[in-house]
Amino acid sequence: MSVSLFSQKDNGTVKMERFVEDLLSKMTLDDKIGQMNQLNLEGINDTLLTKIKAGQIGSMLNITDPKEINLVQETAVKDSRLGIPLIIGRDIIHGFKTIFPIPLGQAASFNPQIVEDGARVAATEARERGIHWTFAPMLDISRDARWGRIAESLGEDTYLAGKLGAAVVKGFQGNDLSSDNSLAACVKHFVGYGASEGGRDYNSTNIPERLMRNVYLPPFREAIEAGAVTLMTSFNDNDGIPSSGNSFLLKDILRKEWQFDGFVVSDWASMSEMLSHGYAVDRKDVAMLAANAGIDMEMVSETYVDYLKELVTEKKVSLADIDNYVRNILKVKYRLGLFDNPYVDTSKVSTAYSERHLQTARRAAVESAILLKNEDVLPLHVNQKIAIIGPMADAKHDQMGTWVFDGDKNYTVTPLKALQRGYKNVSFIYEPILNYSRDKNKTFFEKAKKAVGEADVAVVFLGEESILSGEAHSLSNINLIGVQSELLQVVKSCGKPVVLVVMAGRPLTIERDLPYADAVLYNFHPGTMGGPAIWDLLFGKENPSGKLPVTFVREVGQIPMYYNHNNTGRPAQWIPTLDEIPTEAQQTSLGNTSFYLDSGDKPLFPFGYGLSYSKFKYSGLQLSSDKIKQGETLMVKATVKNVSNVDGDEVVQLYVRDLVGSIARPVKELKGFTKIHLKAGESKQVEFQLTPEELAFYGRDLQKKAEAGDFKLWVGPNSAEGLEGGFSLQ
Ligand code: NOJ
């Protein structure tokens, strides 16, 4: 049957539904189950093509050659009984060809427009190669830097991840999924995966329903409200129930409460892994549990194709559920325009790495860098002679970060290359000393001394190779790896100013390194255009404006440590150093409050922190009232002045504390942020609207509402500082 029979381009829901119902009515149970099956490309071979012809595959992932995509599409459309096109998926996590900073880096921009623009570029480059669907954004709240996938996250905060996640969805999907620069987004991993025990990947989580609803679920809801058409389940079992078999999450919350009308895909073999979890007896049981839990499409493990028919005949899975799942899938295919044109135009000139895309990536890298320390060293002067040291100065592969399948490292502009190209008159000496971050060979340390001795300033590029973060790449020690800290100390011993530039997939524990650097610019792996962005920042052509989307701990043993924790019954008060504790001191000598004897109760850098070359002064906090009624919006205003002689951008942050609730409430919660540009000497009044929705939470009765009582509120530059006010909700 030819695809033209289905050619009814129309975005109207009624027309789509009529089309889908009509198609569904022609489908056998086998056809339906075929649509629910997603396979990985293991090579174009007869087995694959036979399955496609038999209508046993609804989707493929990891097929990226446009010619191969056209071949499988043609087989599906022309040679299968109903001619239903395939939906082609790929992990496009932070760029397709042009690689953007890793998502954690983009989150440091606190700028929804930056992440939306990045997703749009990725969608443009991928859709023109025949890909329809990306498995992003990852909205797992991540409070554990050991977990390798923190790199893919939008950080530790529910509010920030929700706002940025919605922006990513907008960027991928645009206004029209069928346009040639849109991708279907897939919010993942539903849910709680970021809380895996000990930061070990795939591990169990233990998140009670209230915490789930207050912290882990909201970003998903926000992204779905922004239009995300698909969702992926997670690998973890939460309190014993694997997500791919959890009907409470998938049916009760996602479908009934949230009215999600897209489709749900399992994660890679996360259905059949219910066997390893000890939650299913055999593959047939897997298919039954997942189908009854609410999974529309199975990624790679093929239990649906093998057993669903039997299960329907035995009435263990209802045909009505199967029909719904297939409807959900067909609707997304329809909205992607696949029934009109499933093919990729191979003659189309690729926009990959176009100047516009590269500049968008460069902008994202600029806004994603965080200045953590600056003792009058930065910005550098172009007439200073620079010693460029360290394994990350010219690491074209590693600078791109985790989850890069399609980006070509030869397009990466490393700091070394960027200096040679963009700052031709700057004189420098380059000595990597270590070949890669784990390199333990100290043979060349003497060379570092020589180079730094001849220079005015040392810029040391340290960090992590991309392979040290990402899926299945967790670490129990998150110090700078190998002998990098020693290298930094050797450089510092030369007596010249030292600038440390970190490129990493996670917040590393760099407290022990800080004394050896006069300035620290932290970049989560910055992508293709990291190099030019970094020099523009170091030379002051750009002014750092990134803020930490995640708490930086002092010691790995402090994890989990996040700014929006509860107060406890005994918040820390007086914290002595270990040496101040007298020998044979009384059990109660320290006052019995909550802290570590060796690392206190504070992180190294708090959430929201980041310096600038400008200095900003906050004043004039005004609230529209000191009392609001339920349903009313509070207006919050504050003035921010750039009291320096350098133009700059500041992320102004609004935090709230609900002092007493039906459950203990966090000491602070981000409820608003805005990035403003202030010229030297300029002042701006910033205005936030605090809506009842933002004050609402799931309390003792598990109902979402704003509870009456007193609130504190702060407007400031990070989660630890700010102008303080208060109001009450009646
Ligand atoms: C497993 C990962 O958990 C998921 O994020 C990814 O999208 C799939 N594999 C597909 O590659």
Distance from Cα 187 to the centre of ligand 1, integer Å: 11
- Give the tokens for residue 569: 């019954």
What span, in angstroms and rounded, lies between the C-alpha atoms of 35 and 24?
11
Residue 727 has a CB neighbour count (10 Å cut-off) of: 18
Distance from Cα 59 to the centre of ligand 1, integer Å: 15
Residue 676 CB partners (closer than 8 Å, separation 6+): 640, 649, 650, 652, 684, 686
What span, in angstroms and rounded, lies between the C-alpha atoms of 269 and 277?
12
Q: SS3 for 25?
A: helix
Closest Cα to atom 10 of ligand 1: 268
SS3 content of the chain, % helix, strand, coil (to 5): 35, 20, 45
Distance from Cα 162 to the centre of ligand 1, integer Å: 21
Residue 189 CA: nearest ligand 1 atom is 5
Tokens 């880096």 identify what position? 105
Identify which of 309, 330, 297, 298 has the alpha carbon closest to the alpha carbon of residue 24.
330
DSSP string, 402-463: SS-SS--GGG---HHHHHHHH-TT--EEEE--SSSTT----TTHHHHHHHHHHSSEEEEEEE
Residue 135 CA: nearest ligand 1 atom is 7
Q: Residue 197 has what DSSP assignment?
A: G
pLDDT at position 692, please?
86
Identify which of 402, 335, 352, 399 has the alpha carbon closest to the alpha carbon of residue 121.
352
Written in H, E and C, the secondary structure of 565-613 is: CECCCCECCCCCCHHHCCCCCCCCCCCCCECECCCECCCCECCCCCECC
Identify which of 95, 147, 136, 113 has the alpha carbon closest to the alpha carbon of residue 530.
95
Catalytic residue positions, numbered = 267
For the sheet with 263-265, list strands across it: 186-190, 230-233, 263-265
**CA distances, 307 to each of 82, 275, 288, 316 (Å):** 22, 15, 8, 11
Residue 714 has a CB neighbour count (10 Å cut-off) of: 24
Residues 386-423: tens digit of each pLDDT: 999 999 999 999 999 999 999 999 999 999 999 999 99
Residues paired with 684 in a beta bridge: 640
Identify which of 242, 244, 282 has the alpha carbon closest to the alpha carbon of residue 266.
244
CB 713 within 8 A of CB 658: no
Distance from Cα 39 to the centre of ligand 1, integer Å: 13
Residues 419-456: tens digit of each pLDDT: 999 999 999 999 999 999 999 999 999 999 999 999 99
**CA distances, 360 to each of 363, 365, 412, 498 (Å):** 5, 9, 14, 30
Pick out the chain residues at pLDDT < 50: 1-9
Distance from Cα 503 to the centre of ligand 1, integer Å: 24
Identify which of 207, 215, 237 has the alpha carbon closest to the alpha carbon of residue 139.
215
Specify the amino acid at residue 657. Answer: R
What span, in angstroms and rounded, lies between the C-alpha atoms of 701 and 342?
49
Distance from Cα 526 to the centre of ligand 1, integer Å: 22
Residue 188 CA: nearest ligand 1 atom is 5
Closest Cα to atom 11 of ligand 1: 91
Residue 437 has a CB neighbour count (10 Å cut-off) of: 24
pLDDT at position 6, please?
41
CB 8 within 8 A of CB 339: yes
Closest Cα to atom 9 of ligand 1: 268
CB 20 within 8 A of CB 330: yes
Tokens 């649906």 identify what position? 304
Please report which helix (H) or strand (E) contains residue 656, including its range: strand 648-658
What span, in angstroms and rounded, lies between the C-alpha atoms of 177 and 165?
17
- Give the tokens for residue 684: 């701006």
What span, in angstroms and rounded, lies between the C-alpha atoms of 123 and 357?
11
What span, in angstroms and rounded, lies between the C-alpha atoms of 118 and 95?
7
Identify which of 240, 134, 157 has the alpha carbon closest to the alpha carbon of residue 197.
240
Identify which of 99, 230, 225, 212 has the alpha carbon closest to the alpha carbon of residue 163.
225
Tokens 């750039």 identify what position? 642
Residue 42 has a CB neighbour count (10 Å cut-off) of: 10
What span, in angstroms and rounded, lies between the C-alpha atoms of 117 and 127?
15
Tally the residues of the chain. 730
Distance from Cα 234 to the centre of ligand 1, integer Å: 9
Residue 432 CB partners (closer than 8 Å, separation 6+): 389, 390, 391, 393, 394
Tokens 């959900």 identify what position? 328
Closest Cα to atom 8 of ligand 1: 268
Distance of CA 31 to the CA centre of its chain: 36
370-374 vs 634-642, strand pairing mode: unpaired
Residue 218: cis peptide before it, omega within 30 degrees of 0: no
- Give the tokens for residue 714: 């702060």
What span, in angstroms and rounded, lies between the C-alpha atoms of 353 and 362?
12
- Give the tokens for residue 176: 């029209």
pLDDT at position 543, please?
98
CB 698 within 8 A of CB 210: yes
CB 223 within 8 A of CB 158: no
Burial status of residue 470 (CB atoms within 10 A of its CB: 0-12, 13-18, 19 or more)? buried
Among 88, 139, 152, 268, name the best residue to mutate to test ligand 1's pocket (greatest count of ligand atoms within 8 A of Cβ): 268
Residues paired with 500 in a beta bridge: 460, 520
Distance from Cα 211 to the centre of ligand 1, integer Å: 25
N- to C-terminal Cα separation, the chain = 65
648-658 vs 721-729, strand pairing mode: unpaired
Which amino acids bring their CB within 6 angstroms of ligand 1? 91, 135, 188, 267-268, 471
The residue ranges of DSSP E strands in 239-307, in sequence order, are 241-242, 263-265, 298-299
Radius of gyration of the chain (CA): 27
- Give the tokens for residue 297: 């499409």
Distance from Cα 235 to the centre of ligand 1, integer Å: 10
Closest Cα to atom 7 of ligand 1: 135
What span, in angstroms and rounded, lies between the C-alpha atoms of 177 and 183?
6
DSSP string, 321-345: HHHHHHHHHHHHHHHTTTTT-----
Residue 235 CA: nearest ligand 1 atom is 3
Question: pTM score, two decimals?
Answer: 0.97
